[in-house]
Chains A and B, each alone.
Chain A
């Protein structure tokens, strides 16, 4: 069974960089598929942040592109998100997920992790 688990600080100061990791079990990232990050501010809707193909190609939401970096570490079977210059507007539950198509079809999700931006 494929499982994804997000980890990282739950509190980040304004202007700093948010860093999260998604550990994947039950499937080798190097075998294929796209791996994405989606976030959800408290009480609001879902927002796609970006995705990475198993080969390392990346795709970012244009509205966040200047601040986002997604990378993959196949040796640890995990992928990561870095979001720089954060503000309170970046406070959200961050989900990692597997996209089996490249078209936004996420069939496996992590449980999500709340990241709060506050001083």
Chain B
């Protein structure tokens, strides 16, 4: 099972919006609505930002939103802030043999 494909990096100025894509197959992203997104600052553990494609855990700002179309999921950060600069990983359920697969990761830079 290959990792889900994410762009290596995206960037934006404070206040702008950025979108990170996560491309898989019909066996993972496209086959289930079990996509999650994690934020990871350097030297820190990942933090759950989105689950079930578009749900936000308590405490996650509503600037973070998720969506899915076909085999591609997306994370959008609106009103970009300096503290949003981090690595972001998607994750998808991939069935009862592979179970879970992470994306390749995207570095978000706030200009």
- Where the two chains meet, the residues of A that have a C-beta atom closer than 8 Å to any C-beta of B are 38, 45-48, 51, 59-63, 95, 97, 101, 103-107, 109-112
Task: Give the residue name and chain of the A residue nearest to B45 (CB).
Answer: A109
- A51 lies within 8 A of B99 (CB): yes
Would you give 5 A-B contacts (Cβ < 8 Å), ordered by A? A95-B46, A103-B52, A104-B34, A106-B36, A107-B48
Provide the bound-state CA to CA distance between A104 and B101, in Å: 9
Instruction: Flag B30-48 by CB within 8 Å of A: 1 or 0 each.
Output: 0010101010000001111
The bracket for how many chain B residues form the interface is 20 to 34
Q: Which B residues touch A60, using CB under 8 A? A: 99
- A46 lies within 8 A of B51 (CB): no
Q: Which A residues touch B89, using CB under 8 A? A: 45-46
Task: Give the residue name and chain of the B residue nearest to A107 (CB).
Answer: B48
Provide the bound-state CA to CA distance between A109 and B44, in Å: 10
Interface residues of B in 41-97 (CB under 8 A from A): 45-48, 51-52, 57, 89, 91-93, 97
Provide the bound-state CA to CA distance between A51 and B39, in Å: 21
Q: Which B residues touch A48, using CB under 8 A? A: 91, 99-102
Query: In the assembled complex, how far is the CB of residue B3 from the closest CB belonging to chain A, in whole angstroms?
Result: 7
Q: Which A residues touch B34, using CB under 8 A? A: 101, 103-105
B45 CB contact (under 8 Å) in A47, A59, A112: A112
- B32 lies within 8 A of A47 (CB): no
Task: Give the residue name and chain of the A residue nearest to B94 (CB).
Answer: A104
Query: In the assembled complex, how far is the CB of residue B84 from the closest CB belonging to chain A, in whole angstroms?
Result: 19
- B99 lies within 8 A of A107 (CB): no
Task: Give the residue name and chain of the A residue nearest to B102 (CB).
Answer: A46
B51 CB contact (under 8 Å) in A45, A61, A101, A112: A101
Task: Give the residue name and chain of the A residue nearest to B55 (CB).
Answer: A105
Instruction: Flag B1-22 by CB within 8 Å of A: 1 or 0 each.
Output: 1010000000000000000000
